[in-house]
Amino acid sequence: MTDRPLAERILALLATPKYLPVDKVGLARKLKLPPDDRSGLRESLRGLEESGQIARLSKERYALPEAAGIFQGTISFTERGAAFIRTEREDAPDLFVPPDHAGTAFPGDRVVVRVTSSGSRGRSGGARGERQTARVVKVIERASETLVGTLQAKGHVHEVVADDTRFPQRVHVRMKDSEARGQKPLPGWKVVVRLKPWASRHHPLEGTIVESLGPADGAGVDMLSIIRKHHLPLEFPADVQAEADAISESVPASARADREDLRSRPVFTIDPDDARDFDDAIEVEALPAGGWRLHVHIADVSHYVAPGTALDHEAQRRGNSVYLADRVIPMLPERLSNGVCSLQPRVDRLAFSAFIDFDPDARVRRARFGRSVIRSAQRYTYKEAFAVLQGPRGESRLSEHLHRAWDLASKLRARRFREGALDLEMPEVKVYLDATGRPTHLEKVVHDAAHQLIEEFMLAANDAVAHALKHRTIPTIYRIHEDPDPERLLDFREFARTYGYRVGDVTQRAEIQRVLELARGRPEEQAIRVALLKSLKRAGYRQDPLGHYGLAKTNYAHFTSPIRRYADLVVHRSLAQMIRAVPAGRVKSTDMRAIALHLSGTERTAADAEKESVKLKKLEFFRDEVERGDRFQAMIMDVREFGVVVELPDFDVGGRVRMNDMGDDNFWFDPAQRTIVARRSRLTYKAGDRVEVQVAAVDLLRQQIDFRFFAPAAAKAPAPKSKPAPPSHKRRRRC
C-alpha cells in the first residue's frame, strides 16, 4: 500500500518551481530518505505512476505530468498510422499522435507522451475543433510481447505481416531460429512471433517464430489465429476443472434452506435459439392497486463460486465469456455455465432475485432483493416469444403472462427514451457456419419486441441494484459510460450536416435524440448512428457510480449475467453482503478499483476478438461472391480521391469502389462538394446515395473488400439479391 505521507512529500517536491526531473536515487537524496526507506519510495512511486499523478520520463526520471506537458495513457492506432492516446487521468484530454510521432509504440501499449502543440484538426479530418497533439517519448508496458501474422518470403528474406492491419511494420524473422525450435512454417502459414526489443522506427522490427498455426486458408486456422492474438484461454487449469467437477449437477435440499421458494411461480426464460447458458428468468404480476411487480431471477453463481477458490481466480482472470463466430470460450466450466447454474426449464435452480414494484406509469415504487429457488415453467426462444406477442393474448396461462410482461416493458421503454436515453441499437448480422467452419449464409438480426422486453427488464434490474448498493455505500463495481467530449460531438454534428440535417446544440441530449429520430428509416440512418457511436466514449467499469450517458441513468451496474461476466458476480457478492446473506467481510475500494480496471480490459479484448472473428467469416463469405457475381444494395458512406467507401446495410460490411470500377465513364473528385462526378453523363455520387454493387475482389490479408458498381445509381434496375432476415439469435449488447 502506498505510504500516503511519503506520496504527498514526493508530489510536493515535484511541484516546486525549480525542480528538475531526477531518478529514484536523486529523489531519495532530495527527500533525505534513509536507506531503510528506499523500498517505501519504490512502492510510493509505483502507486503514483499507476494513478497518473506522476510520469516516468526517459532515463527513469520522474516529473509531474502537467508541468512537463507529459501524460500517460493507452495508444490506439488508425489504419492510416495516426494514433490517439486515452489518458489515464480523468481530468486530462485525449491526445492526437501524428503517424511520425508514434515512436516504437504498438497498438494497445501503455505509453508516456509529451504534448507538442495545443491544437490540431478534428478526428475526422476537418477543421471542426482543436485537439492537442503529442509525441510518444516512452513505452511503459507492451500490450503484448507476441504477434500473430502471415509468413511471407522475398528471396531469402522472410517477413511476417501482422493480422492487425494497424501494426506499424512487417516483422523480419530468421528461419534457422524457427527451425531450431522445431518450427517449420512455410510461406502463407499463420505463425506466432515473439517480438525482439525495438529501439527505433528507423531500424527493422525483428522477431522469432514461436508457434506455427498452419496454412492461412486451413480449416480453423483463422479462429485459432484470433485466439492466439488475443491470448484467449482454451482450456481450464486442472484445479479449476476439479472444483467444477466436484459440484453436484442437481440442487440438494440443503442448498434450498433459508431461500424463498418460488418453484410454483409462472417463471419463464427468453433466449437465443442456440443458447445453453440461461442466466435470467422473469415473471410479471399485476398488483391489486394497479401497476406491476417485476420478478427478475438471476442464476446464483456466487453460491457455487466462492471468493479465493481456483474457480474464482480463473473466472476473474478471464473476466468474461468470449463469443467467437464458431465457438464460445466460457468464463466458467461447462458443468456450471451450461449445467447447474443455467436456469433450465422444469428443474430446480438457485437464483438471486430482484422484485421491483411499478406504478401504472411504470415508475419504480420500491425494490427488494433476496436469494431464492426457482423452477422455470417455460423456455422461449426469441422467435417463439415474438410469435406469442404477435398473437391474441389469453390463449394460455403463460401466453397471458408474456403479454402482461410486454405491457410493462413497452411502458418502461417509452419512459426511458422520454428521460433521455439514446437509441444506439446497431444492426447485427449472424454468420452461419458449416461443420468445417465455412460461412454458408448471413442473416440480419431483428431487434423485435421479444428482445426489447428482456432488455428493458434487465436494465430495470441493473438500475435497481446499483441504486440500492450506492444508497447503502456497499463497495462494488459500477457500469459507467462517461459524458462525451464536446469536440467529438461537434464532429458528429458536422457529419450529420453533410446529409442536409439542420443540427443544433448536440451537447444537449434532446438534440441528439431529434437527429436520430429524423434519420430513422432513411438511407443514411446507419451512417448517422455509426458517426454518433464514434463520438461517444467507451463504456467500462469503475468503483464509483459515475452514471451511464447512453442509458441516461445516474446509477447503473451489471447484475444480470454472472455466468458470463465476472463484474456481475462481484455485484452479487456486494448485494449478498447488503442483505446480510453472507458474513459482512467488507471489500476495500482499492481492490474494487483494480478489479474494475482489469475487467474493462478483458471486455475490450473480448469485444475486439468477437468483432474480428465475425469480420473474417464475412470476408470469406464475400470472397465466394466474386465468382457468383450476385449484386447487393449498398450505401455510399464517404467520398474520397480514389473513389467511394460503401456499406452493405443488410450485411453490416463495408468496402471501397475505386473510380476504375464505377463504370464506362471518366470520373473526377470534387473536393469542395465532396462528390465524384462522371464527365460524360454528369452523374454525381455523394455520401448517402444508394448504389448497387458486385464483389470485385477480397483481400483476406488486408481485410479489405473491393466492390464495383453494377449500374449507375440513377438507373432503375431490378431488385438486387438479398438474404432473408427473420428474427435471429443475439446476445444482449454490452449496455
Cα distances from 67 to residues 54, 55, 114, 168, in angstroms, run 10, 10, 11, 31
Strands 322-323 and 328-329, by their bridges, are: antiparallel
The alpha carbon of residue 9 and the mean position of all alpha carbons in its chain are separated, in whole angstroms, by 40
- The answer to whether 430 and 730 have CB atoms below 8 angstroms apart is yes
Grid cell digits, residue 226: 484470433
Beta bridge partner(s), residue 234: none
pLDDT in tens, 662-686: 998 999 999 988 899 999 988 999 8
Q: How far apart are CA 402 and CA 283, in angstroms?
A: 8
Of residues 558, 575, 576, the one with CA closest to residue 567: 558
Report whether pLDDT(725) > 60: no
Sorted by sequence, the CB contacts under 8 Å of residue 563 that are 6+ apart come out as 277, 279, 299, 301, 321, 331, 332, 336, 337, 341, 342
The pLDDT-based confidence of 716 (bands split at 50, 70, 90) is very low
What is the structure's pLDDT at 177? Answer: 77
The pLDDT-based confidence of 428 (bands split at 50, 70, 90) is confident
Q: DSSP secondary structure string, 696-732?
A: EEEETTTTEEEEEEEE-TTS--PPPP---------PP
Cα-flanking dihedrals φ and ψ of residue 478, to 5°? -105, 150
- The runs of H, that is alpha helices, within 520-565 are 525-535
Report whether pLDDT(717) > 70: no
What is the structure's pLDDT at 180? Answer: 62
Q: How far apart are CA 723 and CA 439, in angstroms?
A: 14
Percent of the chain scoring above 70 in pLDDT: 91
The alpha carbon of residue 187 and the mean position of all alpha carbons in its chain are separated, in whole angstroms, by 33
Strands 268-271 and 378-381, by their bridges, are: parallel
Q: pTM for this structure? A: 0.84
Grid cell digits, residue 72: 500517460
Of residues 287, 455, 415, the one with CA closest to residue 359: 287
pLDDT in tens, 550-567: 999 999 999 999 999 999
Average pLDDT over residues 584-601: 75
Q: What is the mean pLDDT of the chain?
A: 88
Grid cell digits, residue 77: 492506432
Q: How far apart are CA 187 and CA 241, in angstroms?
A: 38
Grid cell digits, residue 335: 458443468
- The answer to whether 507 and 493 have CB atoms below 8 angstroms apart is no
What is the structure's pLDDT at 89? Answer: 64
Average pLDDT over residues 310-314: 97
CB atoms within 10 A of CB 438: 13
Q: How far apart are CA 70 and CA 732, in angstroms?
A: 39
Average pLDDT over residues 291-302: 98
Q: How far apart are CA 65 and CA 43, in angstroms?
A: 19
Cα distances from 733 to residues 226, 370, 428, 451, in angstroms, run 21, 26, 10, 11
Q: How far apart are CA 66 and CA 54, in angstroms?
A: 9
Beta bridge partner(s), residue 294: 284, 356
pLDDT in tens, 58-78: 788 888 877 667 788 889 888
pLDDT in tens, 488-521: 899 899 989 988 899 999 999 999 999 999 998 8
- The answer to whether 62 and 22 have CB atoms below 8 angstroms apart is yes
Q: How far apart are CA 552 and CA 556, in angstroms?
A: 10
* Residue, of 38 and 555, whose pLDDT is higher: 555
Report whether pLDDT(715) > 90: no
What is the structure's pLDDT at 406? Answer: 97
CB atoms within 10 A of CB 86: 14
Percent of the chain scoring above 90 in pLDDT: 59
Average pLDDT over residues 7-28: 89
Of residues 332, 327, 735, the one with CA closest to residue 540: 735
The pLDDT-based confidence of 729 (bands split at 50, 70, 90) is very low
- The runs of H, that is alpha helices, within 190-309 are 221-229, 238-245
What is the structure's pLDDT at 1? Answer: 41
- The answer to whether 502 and 567 have CB atoms below 8 angstroms apart is no
What is the structure's pLDDT at 735? Answer: 57
pLDDT in tens, 221-257: 999 999 999 999 999 999 999 999 999 999 998 999 8
Sorted by sequence, the CB contacts under 8 Å of residue 1 that are 6+ apart come out as 43, 47, 590
SS3 state at 6: helix
Q: How far apart are CA 117 and CA 121, in angstroms?
A: 11
- The runs of H, that is alpha helices, within 326-418 are 334, 382-390, 397-418
pLDDT in tens, 77-95: 887 778 888 776 656 667 8
Grid cell digits, residue 674: 465532396
Of residues 428, 223, 227, the one with CA closest to residue 326: 223
Of residues 160, 130, 166, the one with CA closest to residue 148: 160
Dihedral class, residue 52 (left if φ above 0, else alpha if ψ from -120 to 50, else beta): left
Least confident of 381-395, 398-412, 518-532, 637-651: 518-532
Grid cell digits, residue 4: 500516503
What is the structure's pLDDT at 719? Answer: 41
Q: CB-side exposure of 53: number of CA atoms within 13 Å?
A: 16
Q: Return the ∠ at Cα 455 (arms to 408 and 386), rounded to 5°.
A: 75
Strands 171-173 and 205-215, by their bridges, are: parallel
What is the structure's pLDDT at 530? Answer: 86
What is the structure's pLDDT at 288? Answer: 94
Of residues 113, 106, 222, the one with CA closest to residue 165: 106
Cα distances from 485 to residues 91, 378, 382, in angstroms, run 11, 46, 37
The pLDDT-based confidence of 701 (bands split at 50, 70, 90) is confident
What is the structure's pLDDT at 130? Answer: 55
